[in-house]
């Protein structure tokens, strides 16, 4: 297992947050984080920014007419 | 021939029963992908029509929810493929290295804060963040929204968006970097930080 530099560790942050890292790349990052407070802070900010963005995705209640529109279209498609 | 028509009708009835409970979730996903209610309604309508046409090819009906989400996401990507929505994102090497964390640290726009980065984010009105999200090119926004909303793995995203896992990885990385850069630009516009900083 290789020791990562901070700049190498940073490139793995998003994969780590997305649970896409496994095996040696994950072990290397976790070993680096265990010894580097600065990278821990940076990773915490990336996590915070993800949550911040996710909480601000556009949202809107479902229009009451949408289900009827889809049902009608499906019914019309059946007849053709 | 009559039997064929009867079995098609049974399949269509099955489609309605399985697919319609996902309507509210699909609409919310469509709003999150497009930001516009009218576009979202059209997308959901189109998703159901495509779903009905392809229903016979769905091997695991219990997975219809994810299957419909994939149809909807592909419609968004296909709708804008090759159009001017594919805006350039600038120097990729520079983008990949962009660090909002470092810039906030260097600029220290809130010198009395004991939680500098958190307090920096708290400055932004929600609509500015939404605008930055919606300004992302589709190729970057769609996988990011699917990751956030549908909690898909990279492999599932690659299958849904019909591209290699490596492309998904780099798009998710760059989508977040573009957002970081947009927030920094917004901070400069709003006077949270000095305009001459990078």
Report ipTM for this prediction.
0.90
Q: What integer pLDDT is reported at residue B1 of this predicted model? A: 42
Closest chain B residue by Cα to residue A64: B24
Instruction: Please answer yes or no on whether A59 and B15 come within 8 Å at the CB atom.
Output: no
How many Cβ atoms sit within 10 Å of the Cβ of residue B58? 16
How far B50 CA sits from the closest chain A CA (Å)?
10
Q: Is B95 on the interface with A (CB under 8 A)?
A: no
Write down the pTM of the prediction: 0.88
B-chain residues near A22 (CB < 8 A): none
d(CA B4, CA B66): 28
How far A41 CA sits from the closest chain B CA (Å)?
9
d(CA B151, CA B154): 10
Tens digits of per-residue pLDDT, B14-73?
899 999 999 999 999 999 999 888 899 999 999 999 999 999 998 888 899 999 999 999
In eight-state DSSP terms, residue B99 is -
Q: B98 and B192 in contact (C-beta within 8 Å)?
A: no
Q: B57 and B110 in contact (C-beta within 8 Å)?
A: no
Least CB-CB distance to B31: which of A53, A58, A71?
A58
Q: What integer pLDDT is reported at residue B84 of this predicted model? A: 46
Calculate the dihedral angle through the C-alpha atoms of A7, B86, B132, B77, rounding to the nearest 10 degrees: -100
**Which string of b and e fits B73-108 if b means at least 16 CB within 10 Å?**
bbbbbeeeeeeeeeeebeeeeeeeebbbbebbbebe
């Amino acid at each position: 297992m290789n020791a990562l530099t901070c700049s190498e560790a940073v490139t793995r942050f998003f994969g780590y947050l997305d649970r896409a890292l496994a095996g040696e790349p994950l072990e290397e990052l976790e070993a680096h984080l265990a010894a580097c407070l600065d990278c821990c802070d940076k990773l915490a900010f990336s996590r915070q920014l993800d949550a911040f963005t996710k909480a601000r995705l556009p949202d809107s209640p479902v229009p009451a007419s949408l289900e009827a529109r889809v049902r009608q279209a499906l019914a019309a498609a059946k007849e053709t | 021939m009559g039997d064929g028509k009867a079995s098609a009708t049974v399949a269509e009835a099955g489609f309605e029963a399985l697919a319609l409970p996902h309507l509210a979730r699909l609409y919310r996903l469509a709003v999150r992908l497009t930001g516009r209610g009218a576009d979202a309604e059209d997308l959901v309508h189109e998703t159901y029509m495509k779903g009905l046409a392809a229903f016979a090819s769905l091997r695991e009906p219990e997975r219809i929810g994810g299957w419909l989400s994939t149809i909807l996401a592909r419609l968004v990507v296909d709708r804008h493929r090759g159009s001017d929505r594919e805006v350039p994102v600038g120097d990729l090497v520079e983008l990949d290295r962009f660090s909002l964390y470092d810039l906030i640290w260097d600029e220290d726009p809130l010198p009395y804060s004991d939680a500098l980065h958190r307090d920096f984010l708290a400055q932004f009105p929600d609509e500015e963040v939404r605008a930055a999200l919606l300004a992302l090119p589709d190729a970057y926004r769609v996988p990011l929204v699917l990751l956030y909303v549908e909690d898909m793995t990279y492999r599932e995203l690659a299958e849904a968006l019909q591209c290699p896992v490596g492309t998904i990885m780099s798009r998710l990385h760059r989508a977040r970097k573009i957002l970081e850069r947009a927030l920094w630009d917004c901070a400069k516009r709003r006077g949270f930080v000095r305009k001459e900083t990078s």
